[in-house]
Chain A
Amino acid sequence: QQQVKQSPQSLIVQKGGISIINCAYENTAFDYFPWYQQFPGKGPALLIAIRPDVSEKKEGRFTISFNKSAKQFSLHIMDSQPGDSATYFCAASISGGGADGLTFGKGTHLIIQP
Chain B
Amino acid sequence: SQTIHQWPATLVQPVGSPLSLECTVEGTSNPNLYWYRQAAGRGLQLLFYSVGIGQISSEVPQNLSASRPQDRQFILSSKKLLLSDSGFYLCAWSEQGAPGDEAFFGQGTRLTVV
Contact = CB atoms under 8 A, between A and B. Distances in A.
B99 A32 contact: yes
B108 A101 contact: no
A89 interface: yes
A29 interface: no
Contact of B102 (A41, A49, A99, A107): A49
B50 A99 contact: yes
Contacts of A96: 97-100
A104 B92 CA distance: 14
Contacts of A101: 32, 34, 36, 46, 49, 92, 94, 103
Contacts of A42: 107-108
A93 B107 CA distance: 22
Contacts of B43: 6, 89, 104-107
A43 B106 contact: yes
A95 B96 CA distance: 11
Contacts of B42: 106
13 contacts: A32-B101, A34-B103, A41-B108, A43-B106, A44-B90, A46-B104, A89-B43, A95-B100, A99-B57, A101-B32, A101-B34, A104-B44, A107-B41
Interface of B: 6, 32, 34, 36, 41-44, 46, 49-51, 57, 59, 90, 92, 94, 96-108, 110
Interface of A: 6, 9, 32, 34, 36, 41-46, 49, 89, 93, 95-96, 99-102, 104-107
